[in-house]
A and B are shown apart, each in its own frame.
Chain A
Amino acid sequence: MATITVNGQQRDVSADPDTPLLWALREELGLTGTKFGCGVGACGACTVHLDGEAVRSCQVALSDLGTGKVVTIEALSPAQAKALHPVQQAWIAAQVPQCGYCQPGMIMAVAALLARDPDPTEETIREQITNICRCGTYPRIVAAVRQAAASVRT
């Protein structure tokens, strides 16, 4: 039994210690917003925040988590906040999602980017966001990130 910190709560998880965080989130805690896309760290569908950094949760074993604080898409906009996170708002305004499967991971990656760089250039955005979107929603993503960045700054 491991105790992990997810979305601000201590949670006991009985999964095998080598279980990737991705599957512990999805199957032990029912947090299915974090998606399985490849299992090898290549697609980013499983992106969560670990101590504020974007990580691909399929590549983090439960036993390696220690006291790290995990935040998933379900808690990106805190429950007490009335509105969605600026990235989520920008995603709706720019109508980014198609099938939507990659978008929780995409949004978590962008939110982490904006947390460390509140005004990223287009080049930075293109270099730093390396999640795969099979529906090809990329053309709207750069504008949506800039929109989100502008509203984070104000």
Chain B
Amino acid sequence: MSESENLVNLSRRGVLVALGIGAGGLLLGRSSALLAATNDSPASFGPMLSIGPEGMVTLVVPSSEMGQGTQEALARIVAEELDCDFARIAVLLPWADPAFSNPAARRQITANSMTVSGYFMSLRKLGAGARAMLIQAAATRLGVAVEGLSVRSGQIFGGPRPLSFADIAADAAKLPVPANPALKDAAQFALIGAKSPRKDLYAKVTGTATFGIDVAEPDMIIAALVLAPHPEAAFTVKGLEDAAKLPGVVATVPVKGGVAILADRFWRAQKAAQIVSLAVTASPLAGLSDENLRAGMQAAFDAVVPAPFPNIEFTTFPPKLERADKAKVIAALAATPHRVEAAYEVPHLAHATMEPICCAARLDGDGLLIRGPLQDPALSREVGAKLTGLPLEKVRVEVTFLGGGFGRKWGTDFVVIAIQAAQAAPGRMVKTIWTREQDFAMDQFRPAFAVRSVATLDTAGRPTAIHSRISGESIAAYHKKAPFPGFEGLADANAAAQLIYGAYAVPQKLIEYHKTDLAVPVGFWRSVTMSQNAFFAESFIDEMAFAAGQDQLAFRLAMLENQPRIRAVLEKAAAMIGWQPRKPGTGKGKGRGIAFSYADNSFCAIAVEVTVTGKTLKIDRIASALDCGLVIDPVSTEGQISGGIVFGLQAALWGEVHFADGRPLAKNFGDYRMPLLADVPPIDVALIPGGQHPGPVGEASTPVIAPALCNAIADAGASRIRALPIARTLEV
């Protein structure tokens, strides 16, 4: 029996007991991977779908649910093709299994906004395949042709009386899985595109959803931490013996970058942790401060030989990379006298997921069990095997609900610590809980970046060449990651991609990256590259519109003739705030700004109106238009856009992690201001339908609000903001 079958069977028992539906139902997939047989979907989906004898459909959704609503979206996709009763489908959280890989990523990871688009076709085939098997079994039972049968809401019609899925599931399970089941025409979709509420809402409003921090077992141990300012710091420890004597303390354990205090209760573990101190003897961050961090990034422009990054052409798949001819760009820049130049910077940002970092683990005779809020269960499993020396099949990883992810829970630094803590108390579940202060201080931050850009405009005011250079830390370098295939010899895409938008028809464009060695722990933060580059790219374009004296929207549209979908979202967002063409910068205190971002099959524009009075900024309203292809769950999609704007608004207005004395200073929400209900202006979202395939949503709006706002501030007649956050310059 294969490893995945083993896990499945184990888990299946748990599932069936939990649902009270007993064994003997239809279990589609197994390790014989329903989809392995089809050519265009090499990813195996294994045991995701089952139908119990009562007709209850059980679906293991393979992605992590962190608020983005993919659990609902993926369930809808399966149910749409299966034609089951959506009210009678139970959705389960996943565990790590190669059978659950996202076909687009080729591993089980929830990141890059690619869950719905990545699983879309495979899950349709999963649902359609099961439906075909059920119909076939019904036809055999009734002695009629399949053509005479139809399926609606878990019932098969066309015989003397309707057959339910429950009646026929066991027979259907014995049939071969069709290699290429017929899929529905998009015009027939009923669940896809419906506005019905998500299935996870009930648990989330009643407090019954199990997040990582809620993992509980009798006799469980809680681990609190004492952490050094950097995972690789060297330190000596004081106070451990006293801590060990405190009530409830079970053990003290060295872990990566610090010490874990294990106790029977969080509060006791935490009290013991507070009397332990670390004296740092060496740290990669030694001496780091805001000043030398910025100085380092500026120095890199001269000291570090730049690596180029090509323009990305998204109209082909996979996106084509078009390399610039540096000599031509430099010549073009030298030839024209009408130059626009600007320098920008953005600071480090924290994720601050609402659920602080946490993870539970238990090591016993059966192996290692990890339960937690994980965006990358597959990697967590590998990490578990490596740390314990166990074979992979002895490591089971179960994903809970995530109280926010935003890229932070893609890291496995906290999984490592949780496993190390568990190793000190074999046989018992050990739940490691970080304090909010640790969650901030030991984040893997969005890196800080600095940019220098220069462009030339022709006599009509159109840019003929743009050269943008960026410096700052490389996420790939911090995580010792090899470049993506096809990106060898190029700049880290996480830093440089889209620093100048490939979509703009500008004859000469050159992006370069001066990689800066800083050793600050950095990682993926909602929208990654775009989180900084939408600000740099769309601010600089706006500055060109100002230099040309042309309306900011018209200036953009003139360079987007071959980009109908971008034009449509820009025009829609502009219309939503009543955009009237005029000379930029003449708003006399009332400004409007526009910006967009895009990826393959996803286009998001934001238009804002602001009032600037002296040094005070008021955001009057925000409008956003999104074209993300086929929309599976419109209400959730709108929520992702408005929520993504609020997330980006925090970064634009206040987001900044300061450093001094070799450590980050943000301690709690008091030092890292979050928007509250009173701070959030009216936000309108419009969805523009676009095509047959869903595109990415979760990260689309987050990076766009900062440039839209700064462009509006400049339009109001205030000085242009070139360094985020805005609160450095204006009061909000």
Interface hits, B262-279 → A, CB 8 Å? 265-268, 271
B435 within 8 A of A: yes
A33-B207, A74-B207, A104-B207 as given contacts; A135 in contact with B404, CB under 8 Å: yes
Chain A nearest CB, measured from B48 CB (Å)? 23
Known contacts A27-B265, A36-B433, A39-B436; A137 and B639 CB within 8 A of each other: yes
Report if B352 contacts A (CB, 8 A). Answer: yes
Nearest-Cβ distance from residue B183 to partner chain A, whole angstroms: 28
How many A-B pairs have beta carbons closer than 8 Å: the answer is 183
Say yes or no: B205 contacts A88, CB within 8 Å. yes
Chain A residue contacts of B549, Cβ below 8 A? none
CB distance from A88 to the nearest CB of B (A): 4
Size of interface on A: residues with Cβ below 8 Å to B:
58
Contact A95 B201, beta carbon cutoff 8 Å: yes
Whether B423 sits at the interface, judged by CB under 8 Å, is: no
Q: Cβ of A92 and Cβ of B676 under 8 Å apart?
A: no
CB neighbours (8 Å) of A93 from chain B are 197
Contact A91 B201 (CB under 8 A): yes
Contact of B646 among A74, A125, A136 (CB under 8 A): A136
Q: Which residue of B lies closest to A128 (CB)?
A: B677
**Residues on B with beta carbons closer than 8 Å to the beta carbon of A70:** none
Q: Encode A9-42 as 1/0 by CB contact (under 8 A) with B.
A: 0000001101110010011001111111111101
Q: In the docked arrangement, what's the CA distance between A30 and B266, Å?
A: 13
Write the chain B residue with the least CB distance to A42: B669
Q: How far is the CB of B635 from chain A (nearest CB, A)?
A: 5
In the complex, the answer to whether B205 meets A84 with C-beta atoms within 8 Å is: yes
Q: Roughly how many angstroms separate A39 CA and B433 CA in the complex, as a whole number?
A: 12
* The one of A92, A126, A134 that contacts B197, using a Cβ cutoff of 8 Å: A92
Which residues of A in the span 49-100 have a Cβ within 8 Å of any Cβ on B?
72-74, 77, 84, 88, 91-93, 95, 97-100
B66 within 8 Å of A by Cβ?
Answer: yes
Complexed CA–CA distance, A102 and B643 (Å): 14
Quick one: given A88-B206, A101-B354, are A126 and B677 in contact (CB under 8 Å)? yes
- Cβ A142 vs Cβ B202 within 8 A: no
Among residues 89 to 138 in chain A, which have CB atoms less than 8 Å away from a CB atom of chain B? 91-93, 95, 97-104, 107, 125-127, 129-138
B355 engages A99 (CB within 8 Å): yes
| Of B38-46, B142-150, B209-217, B225-233, the one with at least 4 CB within 8 A of chain A | B209-217
- At the interface, yes or no: B353 with Cβ under 8 Å from chain A? yes
Most chain B beta-carbon contacts within 10 A, residue among A42, A92, A97, A129: A97
A131 to B679, CA, bound (A): 12
Write the nearest CB–CB distance from A103 to chain B, whole angstroms.
5
Q: For chain A, what secondary structure do more than half of its interface residues adopt (helix, strand, loop), or is it mixed? A: loop
A43 within 8 A of B: yes
Say yes or no: A142-B201 contact (C-beta < 8 A), given A27-B266, A32-B207, A38-B669: no
Interface centre among A38, A77, A131, A141 (most CB of B within 10 A): A38
Q: Are A135 and B67 in contact (CB under 8 A)?
A: yes
Bound: A26/B402 CA distance, A: 18
Would you call A138 and B677 a contact (CB within 8 A)? Answer: yes
Which residues of chain B from 25 to 74 have any CB-CB distance to chain A below 8 Å in the complex? 65-69
List the A side residues contacting B222 at CB < 8 Å: 27
Cβ of B129 < 8 Å from any Cβ of A? no
A100/B67 contact (C-beta < 8 A), A16-B268, A135-B354 known = yes
Q: Which residue of B lies closest to A141 (CB)?
A: B677
Residue of B207, B211, B433, B642 contacting most chain A CB atoms (<10 Å): B207
A97 with B204: CB separation less than 8 A: yes
Q: A98-B67, A99-B403, A132-B354 are in contact. Are A36 and B213 (CB under 8 A)?
A: yes
Closest A residue to B642 by CB, please name it: A139
Give the CA-CA distance A23 to B433 in the complex, in Å.
Answer: 12
> In the bound complex, do residue A142 and residue B677 qualify as a contact, i.e. CB atoms below 8 Å apart?
yes
| Residues A99 and B201 in contact, CB atoms below 8 Å apart | no
> Does A92 contact B202, Cβ atoms closer than 8 Å?
yes
B643: chain A residues within 8 A (beta carbon): 98, 135-137, 139
Task: Please tell me if A149 contacts chain B, counting CB pairs below 8 Å.
Answer: no
Taking a contact as CB atoms under 8 Å apart, the answer to whether A136 and B403 are in contact is no
Q: Which residues of chain A are near B210, meaning CB under 8 Å? A: 32
State whether A72 touches B207 (Cβ < 8 A). yes
Q: Does B101 contact A (CB under 8 A)?
A: no
The answer to whether A139 touches B646 (Cβ under 8 A) is yes
B206 touches A95 (CB 8 A): no
CB atoms of A95 and B213 under 8 A apart: no
By a CB distance below 8 angstroms, the chain B residues around A30 are 216
Asked whether any CB of chain A lies closer than 8 Å to the CB of B309, the reply is no
In the complex, what residues of A have CB within 8 A of residue B476's CB? none
Are A97 and B435 closer than 8 Å at their CB atoms? no
Closest residue of chain A to B644 (Cβ to Cβ) is A136
Enumerate chain B residues within 8 angstroms of A102, measured Cβ to Cβ.
354
**With A27-B265, A84-B205, A91-B201 as contacts: A101 and B355 at CB distance below 8 Å:** yes
Residue B668 at the chain A interface, CB threshold 8 Å? yes
Query: In the complex, which of the residues A15, A18, A99 contacts B401, with contact meaning CB atoms closer than 8 Å?
Result: A99
Q: Does A4 contact B (CB under 8 A)?
A: no
Which B residue sits closest to A100, measured CB to CB?
A: B204
A84 to B403: give the CA distance in the assembly, Å: 23
B683 at the interface (CB under 8 A from A): yes
Please tell me if B198 contacts chain A, counting CB pairs below 8 Å.
yes
Pairwise interchain contact B646-A101, C-beta atoms closer than 8 A: no
B354 and A133 within 8 A (CB): yes
Which chain B residues lie closer than 8 Å to A74 at the CB level? 206-208
Question: Across the interface, do B668 and A132 meet the contact criterion of CB distance under 8 Å?
Answer: no
Q: Once bound together, how far apart are the Cα atoms of A27 and B269, in whole Å? A: 13
In the assembly, what is the distance between CA of A42 and CA of B207, in Å?
20
Query: Which residue of chain A has the shortest Cβ distance to B633 in the bound complex?
Result: A95
B557–chain A nearest beta-carbon distance, Å = 28
Contacts of A72 in B (CB 8 A): 207
* Among candidates B201, B404, B635, residue contacting A134 with C-beta atoms closer than 8 Å: B404
B130 touches A (CB below 8 Å): no
Task: Say if the beta carbon of B645 comes within 8 Å of chain A.
Answer: yes
Is B675's CB within 8 Å of the partner chain A? yes
In contact, B208 and A139 (Cβ under 8 angstroms):
no
B104: Cβ under 8 A from any A Cβ: no
Q: Across the interface, do A15 and B265 meet the contact criterion of CB distance under 8 Å?
A: yes
Q: From residue 350 to 371 of chain B, which have CB atoms closer than 8 A to chain A?
A: 352-356
Q: Does B581 contact A (CB under 8 A)?
A: no
Is B286's CB within 8 Å of the partner chain A? no
A91 touches B676 (CB 8 A): no
Known: A30-B216, A100-B209, A133-B354. A139 touches B680 (CB 8 A): yes
Q: What 5 pairs across the A-B complex have the smallest Cβ distances?
A: A33-B207, A136-B646, A99-B67, A101-B403, A100-B204
- Chain A contact residues, CB within 8 Å of chain B: 15-16, 18-20, 23, 26-27, 30-40, 42-43, 45, 72-74, 77, 84, 88, 91-93, 95, 97-104, 107, 125-127, 129-142
Q: B interface vs A, CB < 8 Å? A: 65-69, 197-198, 200-211, 213-214, 216, 222, 247, 265-268, 271, 352-356, 401-406, 433, 435-436, 635-636, 639-640, 642-647, 649, 668-670, 674-678, 680, 682-683
| Further 6 A-B residue pairs, CB within 8 A, beyond A33-B207, A35-B354, A135-B354 | A39-B436, A97-B204, A98-B67, A103-B204, A133-B646, A135-B67
24 of the cross-chain contacts (CB-CB < 8 Å) are: A16-B265, A18-B267, A20-B267, A23-B266, A26-B266, A34-B207, A36-B213, A38-B668, A40-B669, A40-B670, A77-B206, A97-B205, A98-B69, A98-B643, A99-B354, A100-B205, A103-B205, A126-B677, A130-B678, A132-B354, A134-B404, A136-B642, A137-B639, A139-B646
